[in-house]
């Protein structure tokens, strides 16, 4: 039975029993405390916590899940996977154990011909929490499971909580006996390899207090509404129903693994090391495609770091399999989209975008491997030169953070050099970086408020009505006030506050559009609003400062936005839609939006592209967009179903999350996109769009910046004045300026090269005189010289080597030359072989001079260079070198 059919049967079974089938949420969690969705219940978490009222009493889903804590173990065993799918049925205070357990048993044991999974009842075992007599009785007396196949387990195994105070409860798990060839008899308590868990029923009936671990917390009492959260791992179920040994051999994973083996001319099952690499590739390709499909782009922090790490681990393991410089990610991406597309057809729709992102990351990383290897070699040389056996954590972190070098590759290459790596130091720096990124992201949405406080606010306020599509001023009621993250009843003048209203015209930052600003007034207070955020769907938080009076919960208020700012932002947002369409027309449908920011009079637009966009294409897109403005097309917004929007060909922001009902914004017949932002009434209101340029912001992603309206006009006006001034100064017509300026620049560069040659010749001409004036210090010819200011560092080095070369090989010579190329002093030391036999070392003497200059430096014993920050100390530095030479020779 294929994976897609397993999911279909599960959802159909529960739909027939009154459950609302909820599509999988994006892997990008709405919960600001989570990086990625890590459990099937995460999308329903606000309902279980009482933060939101559930829109249905019971639900079922097939949820995409990502767990990366064990990413280093992926491939090494056949149990670990980063991406998997969790089938689940949920009750929100509706039914409980007496229905949940029979549901699970019925679906598992019903014949395949009747829509079930066809498990033989005698091969199923169950476990219950040690004092859950109710569940044990249902299993034995209502369902008919023999008492000897019902096992009781403690809190560590059969009790669930989220790890923090809140809902918790006992579990009852169902296990499948794979047979004696997989292990010893005795049920799950004896061997969980033979007895494989297939279904976990969690009964949320208690509230837990604070405490650590799986058992170190108190049970405070029962919840007012008892709920059910169940989970069945789709991949594990597929392994059993498809008769294979592990999750890497099921249909959706093995096809990827097999294609990787074919491309690299490997065979699965013959070599342990190759098997590990093939499993890593298969798992990480599934995970990578699903993440990119949900809009995650490779980066060095947060979710982007997770994606980049997995894609690069896949690429590296392909190289270990013998891929060399061959690029196989495109083929493997296509295979992954094909096998996962049966369950997630949106992957096929976004295939071009997914290919662009992953292909670009492969290209980038192959370059990184070349560059990073050179940097790694230098780090190894330095480590060995200092007599150390461990590559420092900061060096490993720099290799990762700056050059994208994965730590596991650093570890392997270091071992080949006989070195270890300070993994603890590396991981500490990595964790600090992740914590900063996570805190910054969460703080943007939640401010100082605890997530639970905001959840309680949403529960109290209900869904906040947004009136801003039609109104710029609206009457509302204050339903919540927060100061320093804590809910208060009132806040006085000078206080920085967060205000929640029951309805608002203020647009909360989202979809690339910046938040509205404005003022909230009551009869006795005024609050200047500077930011608006939506930490949870349906909750709008206005942030600002009480400028006068006292704002109180329950006050009737008037909320008024800054209309001019809104209009300018709306022009930018509409312009973004037009530019998006323009780039798709010019580059093809793979040029998908990957982010944007719409601010007053200016916007930036990110899109997927394999490489730089030619200037001619930028001009064509700009011309096409401005032609749309002249035609003054009507901008129309309306709501429809997601399926209808897709059928109409409406563009969706790559990876954005949408509900069943969506809002479409059309600009005539030119552009049609799913969008919740605010827009102008017609394209002519934009006035003018001026594209400033484009650049890369990451592998496979380009960024265009542009101006709109009066800002675009003012920019062009300034450009016109500048061109007029140049035309006047150069006595040339405007159209002749590029050629005239190019000629001037060419002549200037030629003159600079000639001047540099003359300067170098003058510097080197002094070499003979300097050698002749050398001082004898205990049988060593010593030259210390300050070169004229402006002498380049390269010429200083050439001069030192030239003077050294003037001495015969049997005459010990030490040369130190200093100068100020720009505003910082540089010192170069050179010593010949005879001088080194007398104990003189260029690196040590440069260090002496550099210290006097307030800096540092070093190098080899024969030639070294350093510098500092105190040009006035050059004389002192050369004196210090003289003393050091005398001390060495004495």
Nearest C-alpha neighbor of 567 from the set 579, 575, 577, 559: 575
Q: Which residue has the tokens 């072989």?
A: 833
For residues 54 and 691, what is the distance between their CA atoms, to the nearest angstrom? 46
**171 marked as part of a ligand binding site:** no
Cβ atoms < 10 Å from Cβ of 340: 26
**679 marked as part of a ligand binding site:** yes
Q: What are phi and psi of 88, to 5 degrees?
A: -150, 150
For residues 723 and 737, what is the distance between their CA atoms, to the nearest angstrom? 8
**80 marked as part of a ligand binding site:** no
List all residues 6 or more positions away from 660 whose beta carbon is below 8 Å from its beta carbon: 641, 642
Strand partners, 151: 127
Q: What one-character DSSP code corresponds to residue 614?
A: P
Task: Please report, for residues 95, 168, 183, 228, the alpha-carbon distance to residue 217 in angstroms, rounded to integers and kept in the order given.
Answer: 27, 11, 34, 21
Nearest C-alpha neighbor of 601 from the set 562, 568, 567, 565: 568
Secondary structure class of 801 (helix, strand, coil): helix
For residues 82 and 310, what is the distance between their CA atoms, to the nearest angstrom? 9
**573 marked as part of a ligand binding site:** yes
For residues 383 and 372, what is the distance between their CA atoms, to the nearest angstrom? 16
Q: What one-character DSSP code corresponds to residue 210?
A: S
Rg (CA), the chain: 35
For residues 818 and 820, what is the distance between their CA atoms, to the nearest angstrom? 7
Q: What are phi and psi of 840, to 5 degrees?
A: -85, 135
For residues 224 and 217, what is the distance between their CA atoms, to the nearest angstrom? 20
Strand partners, 593: 607
Q: Which residue has the tokens 């403005």?
A: 629
Angle at alpha carbon of residue 307, lines to 301 and 311, rounded to 5°: 130
For residues 59 and 843, what is the distance between their CA atoms, to the nearest angstrom? 72
The dihedral formed by the CA atoms of 502, 504, 509 and 510, expressed in degrees to the nearest 10? 80
| Joined tokens for residue 790 | 């402006």
Percentages helix, strand, coil for the chain (3-state, rounded to 5) are 45, 25, 30
In total, the chain counts a number of residues equal to 890
For residues 542 and 445, what is the distance between their CA atoms, to the nearest angstrom? 11
Residues annotated within the binding site for Zn(2+) are: 573, 577, 675, 679
Residues annotated within the binding site are: 573, 577, 675, 679
């Amino acid at each position: 039975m294929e994976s897609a059919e397993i999911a279909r049967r599960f959802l159909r079974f529960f739909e027939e029993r009154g459950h609302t089938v909820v599509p999988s949420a994006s892997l990008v969690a709405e919960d600001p405390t989570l990086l990625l969705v890590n459990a099937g219940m995460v999308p329903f978490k606000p309902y279980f916590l009482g933060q939101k009222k559930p829109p249905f009493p019971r639900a079922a889903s097939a949820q995409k899940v990502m767990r990366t804590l064990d990413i280093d173990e992926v491939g090494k065993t056949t149990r670990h996977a980063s991406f998997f799918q969790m089938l689940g049925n949920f009750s929100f205070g509706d039914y409980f154990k007496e229905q949940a357990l029979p549901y699970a048993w019925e679906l598992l044991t019903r014949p395949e011909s009747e829509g079930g999974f066809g498990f033989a009842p005698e091969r199923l075992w169950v476990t219950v929490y040690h004092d859950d007599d109710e569940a044990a009785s249902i299993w034995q007396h209502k369902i008919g499971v023999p008492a000897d196949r019902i096992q009781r387990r403690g809190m560590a195994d059969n009790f669930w909580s989220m790890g923090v105070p809140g809902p918790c409860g006992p579990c009852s798990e169902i296990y499948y006996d794979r047979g004696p060839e997989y292990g010893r008899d005795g049920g799950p308590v004896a061997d969980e390899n033979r007895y494989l868990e297939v279904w976990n029923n969690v009964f949320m009936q208690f509230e837990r207090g604070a405490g650590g671990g799986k058992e170190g917390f108190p049970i405070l009492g029962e919840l007012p509404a008892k709920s059910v959260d169940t989970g069945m791992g789709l991949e594990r179920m597929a392994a059993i129903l498809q008769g294979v040994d592990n999750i890497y051999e099921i249909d959706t994973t093995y096809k990827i693994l097999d294609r990787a083996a074919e491309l690299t001319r490997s065979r699965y099952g013959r070599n342990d090391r190759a098997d590990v690499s093939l499993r890593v590739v298969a798992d990480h390709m599934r995970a990578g495609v699903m993440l990119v499909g949900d809009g995650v782009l490779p980066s060095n922090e947060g979710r982007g770091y997770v994606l980049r790490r997995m894609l690069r681990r896949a690429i590296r393991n392909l190289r270990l399999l013998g891929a060399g410089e061959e690029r196989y990610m495109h083929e493997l991406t296509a295979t992954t989209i094909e096998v996962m597309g049966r369950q997630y057809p949106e992957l096929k729709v976004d295939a071009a975008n997914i290919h662009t992102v992953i292909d670009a990351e492969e290209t980038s990383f192959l370059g990184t491997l070349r560059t990073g290897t050179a940097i790694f070699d230098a780090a190894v040389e330095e480590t060995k030169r200092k007599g150390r056996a461990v590559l420092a954590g900061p060096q490993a972190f720099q290799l990762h953070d700056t050059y994208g070098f994965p730590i596991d590759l650093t570890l392997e290459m270091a071992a080949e050099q006989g070195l270890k790596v300070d993994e603890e130091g590396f991981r500490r720096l990595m964790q600090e970086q992740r914590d900063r990124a996570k805190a910054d992201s969460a703080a943007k949405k939640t401010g100082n408020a605890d997530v639970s406080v905001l959840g309680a606010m949403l529960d109290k306020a209900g869904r906040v009505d947004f009136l801003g599509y039609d109104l710029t001023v609206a009457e509302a009621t204050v339903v919540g006030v927060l100061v320093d993250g804590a809910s208060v009843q009132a806040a006085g003048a000078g206080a920085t506050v967060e205000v929640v209203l029951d309805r608002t015209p203020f647009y909360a930052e989202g979809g690339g559009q910046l938040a509205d600003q404005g003022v909230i007034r009551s009869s006795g207070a005024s609050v200047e609003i500077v930011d608006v955020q939506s930490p949870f769907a349906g909750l709008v938080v206005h942030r600002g400062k009480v400028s006068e009076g006292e704002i109180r919960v329950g006050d009737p208020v008037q909320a008024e936005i800054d209309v001019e700012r809104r209009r300018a932002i709306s022009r930018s947002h509409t312009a973004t839609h037009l530019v998006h369409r323009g780039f798709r027309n010019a580059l093809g449908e793979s040029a998908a939006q990957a982010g944007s920011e719409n601010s007053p009079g200016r916007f930036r637009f990110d899109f997927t592209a394999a490489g730089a966009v030619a200037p001619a294409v930028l001009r064509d897109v700009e011309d096409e967009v401005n032609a749309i403005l002249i035609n003054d097309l009507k901008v129309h917004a309306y709501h429809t179903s997601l399926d209808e929007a897709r059928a109409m060909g409406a563009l969706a922001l790559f990876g954005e999350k949408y509900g069943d009902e969506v809002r479409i914004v059309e600009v005539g017949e030119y552009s049609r996109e799913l969008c919740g932002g605010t827009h102008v009434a017609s394209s002519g209101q934009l006035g003018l769009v001026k594209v400033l340029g484009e650049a890369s912001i990451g592998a496979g992603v380009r960024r265009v910046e542009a101006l709109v309206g009066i800002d675009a006009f003012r920019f062009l006006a300034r450009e016109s004045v500048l061109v007029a001034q140049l035309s006047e100064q150069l006595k040339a017509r405007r159209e002749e300026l590029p050629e005239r300026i190019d000629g001037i620049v060419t002549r200037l560069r030629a003159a600079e090269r000639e001047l540099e040659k003359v300067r170098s010749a003058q510097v080197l001409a002094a070499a003979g005189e300097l050698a002749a004036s050398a001082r004898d210090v205990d049988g060593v010819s010593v030259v210390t010289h300050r070169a004229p200011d402006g002498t380049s560092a390269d010429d200083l080095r050439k001069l030192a080597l030239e003077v050294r070369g003037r001495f015969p090989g049997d005459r010990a010579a030490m040369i130190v030359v200093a100068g100020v190329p720009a505003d910082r002093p540089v010192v170069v030391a050179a010593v010949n072989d005879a001088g080194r036999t007398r104990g003189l070392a260029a690196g040590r003497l440069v260090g002496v001079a550099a210290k006097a200059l307030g800096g540092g430096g070093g190098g080899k014993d024969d030639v070294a260079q350093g510098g500092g920050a105190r040009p006035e100390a050059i004389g002192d530095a050369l004196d210090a070198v003289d003393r050091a030479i005398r001390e060495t020779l004495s």
